[in-house]
Structure 1
Amino acid sequence: MANITMNSILEKMTGKDKDYRYMATSDLLNELSKDGYKADSDMEIKLTNIILQQLDDAAGDVSALAIKCLAPLVKKVAEARVTEMTEKLCVKLLNVKNQHRDIASIALKTIASEVTTPTVAQCVLACLTPPLVKGITGAGMNTEIKCECLDILCDVLHRFGNLMTVDHELLLGALLSQLSSNQASVRKKSVSCLASLASSLSDDLLAKATVAVVQLLKNKGPKPEMTRTHIQMIGSLSRAVGYRFGPHLGDTVPLLINYCTSASENDDELRECSLQALESFLLRCPRDICSYCDEILHLTLEFLSYDPNFTDDMEEDTDDEGHEEEEDDESENEYTDDEDASWKVRRAAAKCLAAIIVSRPEMLSKLYEEACPKLIERFKEREENVKMDVFNTFIELLRQTGNVTKGQIDISELSPRCLLKQEVPKIVKSTNKQLREKSIKTKVCAFSVLKELVGVLPDCLAEHFGSLVPGIEKSLTDKSSTSNLKIEALIFTRLVMASHSPSVFHPYVEALSGPILSAVGERYYKVTSEALRVCGELVHVVRPLDFKGHGFDFKPYVHPIYKSILTRLANQDQDQEVKECAISCMSLVISTFGDNLEAELPACLPVLVDRMGNEITRLTAVKAFAVIASSPLKIDLSCVLDHVIGELTAFLRKVNRALRQTTLGTLNSLIVAYGDRIGSPAYEVIIAELSSLISDSDLRMTALALELCCTLMADRNSSPNIGLTVRYKVLPQALMLIRSSLLQGQALLALQRFFAALVQSANTSFDDLLDSLISSAKPSPQSGGLTKQALYSVAQCVAVLCLAAGDEKCAFTVDMLTDILKDDSSTNSAKQHLALLCLGEIGRRKDLNSHAHIENIVIESFQSPFEEIKSAASFALGNIAVGNLSKYLPFILDQIDNQQKKQYLLLHSLKEVIARQSVDKAGQAEFQDTNVEKILKLLFNHCESEEEGVRNVVAECLGKIALIEPAKLVPALKVRTTSPAAFTRATVVTAVKYSIVERPAKIDEILYPEMSSFLLLIKDHDRHVRRAAVLALSTAAHNKPNLIKGLLPELSPLLYDQTVVKQELIRTVDLGPFKHVVDDGLELRKAAFECVDTLLDSCLHQMNPSSFIVPYLKSGLDDHYDVKMPCHLILSKLADKCPSAVLAVLDSLVDPLQKTINYKPKLDAVKQEVDRNEDLIRSALRAIASLNCISGRDCSLKFESLMNEILKAPLLSEKYNSIRME
């Protein structure tokens, strides 16, 4: 039946009426597009013949439809038919007199794009390649044929270059010969073809191609257009092959620099091409270009201002008055812009400089010294397109500064941020002039520069803001201003107000408030919403409630701001973003000006309450009431308070997590501020709702719920029933929560405050609460015993409960706990474990000197057969000593000297004491008065201990003492870096690691000049010492990156060397039936890669990622599981922060990633191995997803092939898509 229909269609396609032929061809397209259609061999022949015939149809719309038919036909017929069509189309393509050459070309491209299987592709390529080569190189072939053949070949190479390896040499020769063609179109298309071919060439053929093009460059011909083509070819090659072009830079870079500097004055396009090629080298070969960067930088700076037709006198800065005259003068010059191509050179120089900025973060300081002043000077560029590139290059410099110096404190005056600060006056002066220009684009870019500047240096415009006010004002009020310009001006105003002291803006509030409030009334919603955000900052500026004595009269601005916001707040028919911004802004207005708006509040507050009832604006409205409740003005909410409390209580039952969290915070603020007006009945309803929010599944929500519960109990207006309600509703949930191993952080602190508040509330017994807590630690039949973390949680809550209940209850509890320890008949190790932890937590908070011999009772538990009891006893003894150093610290030191078998546990006790003192300044004086020398002698004696656990404890103790006594400890540690004992060297470096904490400390300035002595142990001959040095470097990079400033150029290569697999650290252990390979360097490699990961976050501007990715990261991606995981993280980070460096070597990274995602565990693999492999695959896919976000990654055929493989494999595709959605 299908063949009858098809025969009918084919018959109509041969009719004389073109309309019939068109309809029949359309029907054929529909039939071929059906999934189930399949033709027999006879029909295949008919179909191919008729479609080839229709391609020559005199009616253009019929031939166009016939081309569309080719796409489904190629997939429905045998490969012999596809080959036959290809051959016939090639004949038409090469026919000099053929009128239908264009159609044949399009048809061949269609066939090439629709072939899906490699076997069919091979057949098509076999019959397509020879005619294409003939068309390109054959005698008598005209330009049109050559161009068509080159177009088709470019498409084919881009898609099937890897399948054409046998023809690569033939194609290379054919294409290279066309680079010297007299026809510009042929040369241009040959360049594109060679670039497509290059990505699949072998290294030998790539070298041959490069040598040939370099030779053409060296043999400089008389025609400059030929030279331009050869330079473009060099740039295209580097873009196509990336890092593989690196070995050829030595031949090409000097040539290009020479062409730039020696080209004639009229050959600007030659300079442009050379600079574009250098830009490509910088982005695609960042590792090999290193040695030429300084020279290229100087070249770009020279040509950034290259303008031979425009003298320096013409470029002199002019004031506004002479601006129009200058424009008139320009028109009278002897040259015209149409004749002047020098702007192309300046644009190429700006882009080349941007490539240096992006790819060389380690050159930032040098760039600020040399490039920054030049860029600022070029803001006056007369050609708008070039000016945009200059602005964008400068923005890139600022952005890169922000990326690599984020979170750092500048010590050196040569740091990028310090150098930028010195340029701020010039930047402001220059951008200010641009804000007076007529061009909207120029003004938008000027604001973009200022925005980035404020982002990098938040407080840099305090002295310069006044000069910018006219520009802001004009941008917001000028009739010619576009919405985009207004938005940029508003964003900048908001950012600068948020990052500077309010007093900076007080002289300019009158000038700015009018334009800002006018912008609130704009019709375009994006302008309105941004203007409302600026209004919020303006409110803080005119009356900063936390800024006393500013002396600014804010009252004239209160009602204008209020009325402007209210108009937007009351309007329901507007964009959601505007509604939310209006609500947020009004909450700021009320909380800041509420005492001056008492008459207006009864009309305004109900509108905010109404917005709480709307699901779209509900969350923002809830936040608004939190802002109002937190106001120090104690705004009168009596007209809406009951309604608000009722609505918020109902929101606690909603599914929306963000709404419930925000509601808890708002309720807390309202009860603190207005508790005397709410009443206990409302409290009881709230408490009933809170009980369902307390669980370990959402610790953030739990912390907020417990905080609110504490606020309710602490309110002096709450009735005795509140404590009872909490006891029956919330306490059971709290006792369940305390058993969780997940409990930590703010939730644990909130739980402690909860018990302290509950014991002080009415109708609650201390004894009952204590019994409940201790009982919660008992093993249950369902879940068994508690985890270590849960026991610590119980102990902390017991300690807080005792202290809140008073000295008598506390003493009673301590006696009860010591009785448990003294009871020889007690066999309940869990009970003893908890008792020791409770004693430690109580002892840390309170002096237990009144309990005789408590230290001896605790130390008796060191004899326990259970490790957890001994560890708890060590913890308890140390924390009891914290409560009374003068009595218990000498006892611990004496025991360490005399009890050799208990030294490890006693050192842990000492560590608890020292760790607490290093963060508790109040106790440091007493600690220092004790015999510190004796402690140090004791610790240094144990540095060489054979037990790694002992050495680690000693190192931590030394590190924490160094925080207290840095002047004494740092020199003592430094002396021991040269100790002949490897264990001692490792211990002192580890001690330094423990002394580097996030908070500022007095050790920093003492440690800074000595860091190299410790960190250079990374080249020690002992692997334990090297690993300790790597870990110390990682800690310094994370906590105090300024401590390693200046050391990284020396340390980085040594660190990279630790990531390499070292055969001397791999040994084989003979276990009888089988042999086991042990890699002693694995932990060191893992630590080294994790250190690199940390350095990329904190010290990127001192790193050279290009020298690390290949070979070190590439090697790590093919290493052990423990090494691959951090390597995937590093790769993701580099893809985001240094995309050009990654793009340059992308091809080389594909194989190890592909191997990882395709790995299948053995059939007898245990579940743990299967789970680890799944984690590893997801980790690799996460890295691949980051790589797929890099602009230009489509140049890597290997990566594109990998992405296609992932998307075609159902399991991998599902995982990849879920990762992208995270």
Structure 2
Amino acid sequence: MDVFNTFIELLRQTGNVTKGQIDINELSPRWLLKQEVPKIVKSINRQLREKSIKTKVGAFSVLKELVVVLPDCLADHIGSLIPGIERALCDKSATSNLKIEALIFTRLVLASHSPSVFHPYIKALSSPFLSAVGERYYKVTSEALRVCGELVRVVRPNIEGYGFDFKPYVHPIYNAIMTCLTNQDQDQEVKECAISCMGLVVSTFGDHLKAELPECLPVLVDRMGNEITRLTAVKAFAVIAASPLKIDLSCVLEHVIAELTAFLRKANLALRQATLGTLNSLIVAYGDKIGSAAYEVIIIELSTLISDSDLHMTALTLELCCTLMADRRSSPNVGLTVRNKVLPQALTLVRSSLLQGQALSALQRFFAALVYSANTSFDALLDSLLSTAKSSPQSGGVAKQALFSIAQCVAILCLTAGDQKCSSTIKMLTDILKFDSSTNSAKQHLALLCLGEIGRRKDLSSHAQIENIVIESFQSPFEEIKSAASYALGNIAVGNLSKYLPFILDQIDNQQKKQYLLLHSLKEVIVRQSVDKAEFQESSVEKILNLLFNHCESEEEGVRNVVAECLGKVALIEPAKLVPALKERTTNRAAFTRATVVIALKYSIVERPEKIDEIIFPEISSFLMLIKDHDRHVRRAAVLALSTAAHNKPNLIKGLLPELLPLLYDQTIIKQELIRTVDLGPFKHTVDDGLELRKAAFECVDTLLDSCLDQVNPSSFIVPYLKSGLDDHYDVKMPCHLILSKLADKCPSAVLAVLDSLVDPLHKTINFRPKHDAVKQEVDRNEDMIRSALRAIASLNRISGGDCSLKFKNLTSEIAKSQTQWGTLG
């Protein structure tokens, strides 16, 4: 058993180290493990023939872990393992524990290997599984039912036929599960497993169970009426509804729809979500057998579920509304009911600043479906959407995020309605920019966003001078209008790069005052190309790079940041060209250029795997070693890039950390040469130019503790660096408190060793009081800082227990005595 347990740990660590790796080369742990599989199976089979029950349990535990790490590794060894599984399930001396382990292993193997692997052994396997379904111990029965569920998929992996005769197994499997399903004295876990398994049996073998369906379907409906089994029964009907066999549900369909509609009013969140999914599947498959009256009742219930308080539920609800409207067999009354009951809720939702992701996509599809629905005109829908952007005295202004949501919905609406409606809408929007720009900035703002969203999805080059009309808005006195115009121009360019990209590049060179806005437009183009994995023309790349590199030394930080983001996103599209070009500029004499290319690297390190990763790996040290540059802007850029790499791709930097960490820690120290006094006439003001750098450095350490803890030596960091940060500016103390809490959780011994030295800065923080004439913002910031310090002290208290120094005990005692005061801080 010690050997088994050790080997299981080895397997788990192999799985952890190789998680996400697909390619197996001869040096990888997975490849080495795969070579050992025949020896492992041979040894395990020998152990499975032993008399010791404990040994057999351990052997199955090893096999379970092996299948988890290498899911398809036993394809050539199934036949040799069958006798061991049979003995474990059929031997009279076998314990429940052994049967459970054998069943779990079998389920994992069935789920992770190709069905054809098991077809020669189905006869030998099915009998022990079906016998185990009748076991008295509920844990064995429930696990046997789960195995039966996998067995169903294996014997008939597709409806067309797989070259395997599954018919002899249909009725034995059905009868075993039906016995379990109708037994009222079963444990809840067994009931749920039986319901799920029967759902799979009906959906897979329904065409061979026509005589049995009137017997088993009412039982499943009955389980929907039981509070403890109704959720599982709802999911089972979703599986049946999705079956390509189009199972005949006529005997229960009306009852099922009525039950599901009633469930939409229940407080149980999981039940409502499952109900929405099941209703969707049933309406897609059996819409012609459901009356329009039932549709209208469902729609009325759905209207109460649309809210920004639960966006997942809202997305499911809107999807179901789309399904109801898409059913051509539904009567015109359905579209009318949706318009009267659901549309007002949708128009309220679109104004929400929380709307995003799946819910926003579902809302767009909802408006598109409404265009096709009876009794709903495009013009009325468009007016309703545009009206939601108007602020009212009761609701106040419309959030910026809400304007983007409205614009996206308008774009989808136009594209769905066809070219004629789309063209008339674009003309209306451009007229607003031409004639209403001076009188109504809100209308202009929304018009620009709408044009951008339409342009991103459709080529607008047939609309003459649209780029010039949009660029005129750069003259607006309102910053939000300028920003929207920049966004619109960039997105319109995406629709026709060959026409609009040269226009934007020429404008950047010609109009110095509009440089920043035009660079933002270019950024929109590049970001969209990097997301869509689309490549630029060779000439365009050269022109873009020359322009961007010319602006690396701009005095305006905003311009440099946009340039850096553009370079980083272009690097994702053309890594072989960009990475060497960026590396070359890390030695440029201009500090701003060095800082810009390092920030560009930061934007090119994204969470998902990219082809740039293998190109950047050998070169990344050239960028990150600028953390020791003499210019603070460059050092901060390198710290931010290191933090991004640690968060998204820690494997890129792990080999460099022994050299980088001392340099990073050095950035956390207060440097007197970066503190200056500014003379403001009657008084003087102290400015700390190193504050942002120190804050970024501590935040980077916090990220490294999450992703590269094995590379960090906490003892060398806590004193003096973390101790110094705990006594620093407010902006630095906050991340330091988080780091201290994290270290207390992950490296308690290192923290306890220097606990006394941390007491004074924490004591000073929680006892600090703002001046009596401090503004509310200062008071609130101080209270946030005290809360943060108290959370760190609570973490320290958990690890110290009663065995701590007198100094820390005095601190906790003082806090305990002042608990009334701390209570006001929440």
TM-score of the pair, normalised by structure 1: 0.62
Ranked by relative contact order (alpha carbons within 8 Å, sequence separation 6 or more), the top structure is 1
Distance 1:409 1:1184 in 2: 44
Q: Give 5+ residue unaligned stretches, structure 2.
A: none
- Aligned-partner residue type, residue 144 of structure 2: A
In structure 2, the residue matched to 1:901 is 513
3-state DSSP class of the match of 1:750?
helix
Distance 2:627 2:698 in 1: 14
Gap change, CA 1:1155 and 1:1021, over 3 Å in 2: closer
In structure 1, the residue matched to 2:94 is 481
Question: Is 2:633 the partner of 1:1024?
Answer: yes
Distance 1:465 1:1173 in 2: 66
How far has the Cα of 1:514 moved from its partner?
2.7
Deviation string for 1:296-350 (max 9, x for gaps)? xxxxxxxxxxxxxxxxxxxxxxxxxxxxxxxxxxxxxxxxxxxxxxxxxxxxxxx
Query: % of aligned pairs identical?
Result: 83
Distance 1:838 1:867 in 2: 17
Contact 2:723/2:757 (8 A) holds in 1: no
Of the structure 1 ranges 1203-1212 and 411-420, higher mean CA displacement relative to structure 2 is found in 1203-1212
> Which residue of the other structure, out of 857, 865, 883, is the alignment partner of 2:477?
865
Distance 1:1197 1:558 in 2: 67
3-state DSSP class of the match of 1:931?
helix
In structure 2, the residue matched to 1:511 is 124
- Aligned-partner residue type, residue 1159 of structure 1: I
Of the structure 1 ranges 820-829 and 733-742, higher mean CA displacement relative to structure 2 is found in 820-829
In structure 2, the residue matched to 1:643 is 255
Deviation string for 1:416-447 (max 9, x for gaps)? 55554454444444444443433333333333
The equivalences for 1:369-380 within 5 A come to: none
Gap change, CA 1:1055 and 1:821, over 3 Å in 2: same
Distance 1:438 1:1167 in 2: 76
> Which residue of the other structure, out of 945, 964, 976, is the alignment partner of 2:573?
964
Distance 1:799 1:610 in 2: 46
Contact 2:726/2:761 (8 A) holds in 1: no
Deviation string for 1:599-640 (max 9, x for gaps)? 222111111111111111111111111122122222221111
Question: Is 2:495 the partner of 1:888?
Answer: no
In structure 2, the residue matched to 1:522 is 135
Distance 1:489 1:1110 in 2: 53
Deviation string for 1:178-229 (max 9, x for gaps)? xxxxxxxxxxxxxxxxxxxxxxxxxxxxxxxxxxxxxxxxxxxxxxxxxxxx
Distance 2:261 2:502 in 1: 56
Distance 1:1086 1:485 in 2: 56
- Aligned-partner residue type, residue 1036 of structure 1: A
The equivalences for 1:110-509 within 5 A come to: 387-388=1-2, 390-403=3-16, 406-407=19-20, 414=27, 416-417=29-30, 419-509=32-122
How far has the Cα of 1:707 moved from its partner?
0.8
Distance 2:196 2:662 in 1: 52
Question: Is 2:269 the partner of 1:657?
Answer: yes
Distance 1:619 1:592 in 2: 21
> Which residue of the other structure, out of 424, 429, 433, is the alignment partner of 1:821?
433
In structure 2, the residue matched to 1:551 is 163
Of the structure 1 ranges 1107-1116 and 703-712, higher mean CA displacement relative to structure 2 is found in 1107-1116
In structure 2, the residue matched to 1:994 is 603
Question: Is 2:616 the partner of 1:1003?
Answer: no
Of the structure 1 ranges 1169-1178 and 1045-1054, higher mean CA displacement relative to structure 2 is found in 1169-1178
Question: Is 2:748 the partner of 1:1142?
Answer: yes
How far has the Cα of 1:952 moved from its partner?
1.2
Deviation string for 1:262-305 (max 9, x for gaps)? xxxxxxxxxxxxxxxxxxxxxxxxxxxxxxxxxxxxxxxxxxxx
In structure 2, the residue matched to 1:981 is 590
3-state DSSP class of the match of 2:610?
coil
Gap change, CA 1:434 and 1:825, over 3 Å in 2: closer
Deviation string for 1:56-92 (max 9, x for gaps)? xxxxxxxxxxxxxxxxxxxxxxxxxxxxxxxxxxxxx
How far has the Cα of 1:852 moved from its partner?
1.2
In structure 2, the residue matched to 1:270 is none
3-state DSSP class of the match of 1:985?
helix
Deviation string for 1:642-676 (max 9, x for gaps)? 11111111111111122111111111111111111
Gap change, CA 1:870 and 1:1144, over 3 Å in 2: closer
Contact 1:886/1:930 (8 A) holds in 2: no
- Aligned-partner residue type, residue 606 of structure 1: P
Distance 1:1124 1:467 in 2: 62
Distance 1:774 1:728 in 2: 18
Contact 2:490/2:524 (8 A) holds in 1: yes
How far has the Cα of 1:752 moved from its partner?
0.7
3-state DSSP class of the match of 1:633?
coil
Contact 1:459/1:500 (8 A) holds in 2: yes
Distance 2:377 2:413 in 1: 11
How far has the Cα of 1:791 moved from its partner?
0.6
Distance 1:750 1:954 in 2: 34
Distance 1:669 1:805 in 2: 27
Of the structure 1 ranges 871-880 and 966-975, higher mean CA displacement relative to structure 2 is found in 966-975
Gap change, CA 1:897 and 1:653, over 3 Å in 2: same
In structure 2, the residue matched to 1:812 is 424
Distance 1:662 1:1177 in 2: 44
The equivalences for 1:542-691 within 5 A come to: 542-545=155-158, 550-691=162-303
Distance 2:821 2:51 in 1: 54
Question: Is 2:364 the partner of 1:725?
Answer: no
> Which residue of the other structure, out of 1151, 1159, 1179, is the alignment partner of 2:766?
1159
Distance 1:816 1:436 in 2: 81
In structure 2, the residue matched to 1:747 is 359
Contact 1:410/1:418 (8 A) holds in 2: no
Distance 2:824 2:236 in 1: 40
- Aligned-partner residue type, residue 111 of structure 2: A
Distance 1:812 1:1005 in 2: 49
Contact 2:766/2:789 (8 A) holds in 1: no
Distance 2:518 2:511 in 1: 9
3-state DSSP class of the match of 2:298?
helix
Distance 1:442 1:1120 in 2: 61
> Which residue of the other structure, out of 305, 310, 320, is the alignment partner of 1:708?
320
Contact 1:1147/1:1198 (8 A) holds in 2: no
Distance 1:964 1:784 in 2: 42
3-state DSSP class of the match of 2:618?
helix
- Aligned-partner residue type, residue 933 of structure 1: E
Distance 1:512 1:1178 in 2: 61
Of the structure 1 ranges 983-992 and 767-776, higher mean CA displacement relative to structure 2 is found in 983-992
How far has the Cα of 1:843 moved from its partner?
1.1
Distance 1:726 1:797 in 2: 17
Q: Give 5+ residue unaligned stretches, structure 1.
A: 1-386
Contact 1:409/1:1042 (8 A) holds in 2: no
Gap change, CA 1:1065 and 1:628, over 3 Å in 2: farther
Q: Aligned residue pairs: how many?
A: 821
3-state DSSP class of the match of 1:946?
coil
3-state DSSP class of the match of 1:609?
helix
Gap change, CA 1:425 and 1:846, over 3 Å in 2: same
The CA RMSD over aligned residues, in Å, is 3.5
3-state DSSP class of the match of 2:617?
helix
Distance 1:809 1:1021 in 2: 59
Gap change, CA 1:1204 and 1:441, over 3 Å in 2: farther
Contact 1:1114/1:1149 (8 A) holds in 2: no
Gap change, CA 1:1055 and 1:490, over 3 Å in 2: farther
How far has the Cα of 1:533 moved from its partner?
2.2
In structure 2, the residue matched to 1:538 is 151
How far has the Cα of 1:1054 moved from its partner?
4.1
Distance 1:1159 1:700 in 2: 41
Question: Is 2:555 the partner of 1:943?
Answer: no
- Aligned-partner residue type, residue 1162 of structure 1: R
